[in-house]
Each structure stands twice: as structure tokens, then as C-alpha cells.
Amino acid sequence: MAKKQTRKQLIFEEAAKLFRDKGYLATSVRELADKVGLEPSSLYSHIKSKEEILQKICFDSAQKFIDGINEIEKLNATPSEKLKALIALHITIATEDSTSVTVFNDEWRHLSQDVLKEFLVLRRDYESRFKNIIKKGIELGEFKNINPSIALYTILTSVRWLHYWYKPGRQLSPTDIEKDICTLLIKGLKE
């Protein structure tokens, strides 16, 4: 039996859709209240602010990536295998919750200054750890001797479009997408 969605969960879900479709700045609290069937003043009994919602979406998504890389780093695997797992992580997150990933990728810049600093620390840490896997592959001769930053940002850019394009039921499954993207990216690093 499916768990009943709470009002707060509904608010966060509808806010994510509005932020995705209109952008964080263009979304009003009144619009959100209308979407969930509340008066704007009643909405504040469930949330502190519109930014609280943005923070939750951004940090929840960031945590999925952090949890994923934590597990991948523990693997007894080659850098190629870890890189493939990281690409698969991005594909899984993008295809399972494209709405939140869209907000995470596009709207994080609107976080308040202190929260933005905290978010950027998480982001830089993730990117550094990802880049270390690429560096290890270069050191071991598994990957070409190229600039690890260029490799990192090329890979990340190559998977950041998925949340816009992917719709369940498309001809390609997430597994097919993973296979094709990994073939292109990892083969490019090796040859």
C-alpha cells in the first residue's frame, strides 16, 4: 500500500514543478498556495519561506550525489569502473527525479549567501572527489594524459542535459542511455 503524501510533501513537490517550469524567482508564494489548495497565509504553517523549499530541493539532491560517490569510492574497482558508476549515478538521479534535478542544476544560484556558500562547499568537494578518480585513471595509464578538469567538466556537462530530455517511456531506457553515454565518454578517455 502506498504511503499517503503529507501536505508538506505536496508543497515541496508542487514547488519543485513551479521552480522547474517558471524559475525560482518568477514563482510566487500565491501561485504555490493555489497549486496546493491553501491560502498564502496558511502555507506558512507548513513552510518557513519559499527559500526553505529551494534549500531542501538543492541539499536533498546534493546528498544523493554525495551518498553515491561515498559508495563508489569504497568499491574495489578500477578508475574506469568507478567512472562508469559515477555516470550511472548521474543518469539514475536525473531519470528518477528530473524535476528536482532541474531545480538543483538551474536554480541553486538563488540560495541566500550563507546557504549558497555551504552548497558550493558540497559541490566543490563532490567535483574534487570525482576528479580524483579521473586523476587516478591517468596515473595508472588507464586514461589518456589529459587535463583532469577538462575531463571532469566534459563528463558532467554530458549528463546535465538528461533531466530536460528524458521522459519515462521514451524509446531508450536509463540502462540504454547509460550504456551509450559510458561508451562515448569512457572510450574517449581511453583512446
What pLDDT digit, counting tens, does each position of 23-65 carry? 999 999 999 999 999 888 888 888 999 999 999 999 999 999 9
Compute, in degrees rounded to 10, the torsion defined by CA atoms 181, 101, 96, 37. -160
Distance, in Å, from the CA atom of 78 to the CA atom of 139, rounded to the nearest integer, reads 12
Residue reference for cell 513551479: 18
Is the CB of residue 161 less than 8 Å from the CB of residue 90?
no
Domains of the chain: which residue ranges? 1-47, 51-190
Over residues 135-147, mean pLDDT? 95
Pick 1-47's CATH classification: 3.10.20.30, 3.40.1000.10, 1.10.760.10, 1.10.10.60: 1.10.10.60
pLDDT > 90 in the chain, percent: 59
pLDDT in tens, 2-30: 456 688 888 988 999 999 899 999 999 99
* pTM given for the model: 0.87
CATH architecture of 51-190: Orthogonal Bundle (1.10)
Q: Identify the pLDDT of residue 1.
A: 44
Distance, in Å, from the CA atom of 161 to the CA atom of 155, rounded to the nearest integer, reads 11
pLDDT in tens, 167-187: 777 677 888 888 888 888 888
